Structure 1
Amino acid sequence: MAPTGPFRLVTVNTAPERAKRLIGRVVEDVKEQYTIVHAANAASIDEVRKTVEEAQPNVLFTASMWTPEEAKQIIAIAKEVVSDLKTFSLPQGMQVEKGPDAVVEYIKENLPALLG
């Protein structure tokens, strides 16, 4: 069976290199099931609208450094641009508390529900 996609992903992460590395791992691990293209990263809430307008993603991830309120704000801004955007927020503090491997596993566990 061919992978589902391609999905254009935008991440919202204050550490763009870390976002790229983590998403690179996820993309590699799920390439049999999904084709995911990491289209862009917004490094701040102020960059979200412009990044989403330029990248036109169908998926957006908020990283674990954002509070639930900030994640909601980011998603609201992004959905003003792409109304049917699929969104996923990592639990606040996950990267710090559990490390990058846990983040990669958490994303992979949640992808079927998100992209299915």
Structure 2
Amino acid sequence: MPAVYKLMSVNTAPERAKRLIGRVVEDVKDRWTIQYIANAERIDEVLPTLERERPDIMFVASMWTPEQQQEIVLIAQKAIPGIKTFKIPTGFQVEKGPDAVVELIKENLPSILNDPEPKSAL
């Protein structure tokens, strides 16, 4: 039985986040069981969401600046030591589109799940 990973996102467009992550979850279900449990729309919602939901993984969307993304990751690391994080490069969704975001996450998922260090796609 595969491990179940609880995932949250930090995204100002929660419906889009849910839709894109849903596609990823469906595409990788033969390898991993991922439950999308929550989204924080603002930086000040990140800590309470982390504390309430206790996710294993957190994805940070591309609408945040690199500085904001780093702040969000630091909040997560302090709240949940060992949390796995992934920062989608700033502007990636606007520049490349939602299909590219899904592919980027899927390409990076093995290293995200198997490596304790925060990840960022470049």
TM-score above 0.5, yes or no = yes
Q: What are the equivalent positions in structure 2 for 1:71-86 lying under 5 Å apart?
A: 71-86=69-84
1:35 Cα offset (Å): 0.4
Q: Which runs of 5+ in 2 are unaligned?
A: 115-122
Q: What are the equivalent positions in structure 2 for 1:23-102 lying under 5 Å apart?
A: 23-102=21-100
Q: For residues 6-49 of structure 1, what are the alpha-carbon distances to aligned partners after superposition, in whole Å with 9 as ceiling and x for unaligned?
A: 00001000000000000000000000011000110000101000
Structure 2 distance, partners of 1:5, 1:13, is: 25
> Which segments of structure 1 move beyond 6 Å, counting only runs of 4 or more?
none
Q: Structure 2 length normalisation: TM-score?
A: 0.91
Q: Structure 1 length normalisation: TM-score?
A: 0.95
1:5 Cα offset (Å): 2.2
SS of the residue 1:21 aligns to: helix
Q: How many residues align?
A: 114
Q: Which runs of 5+ in 1 are unaligned?
A: none
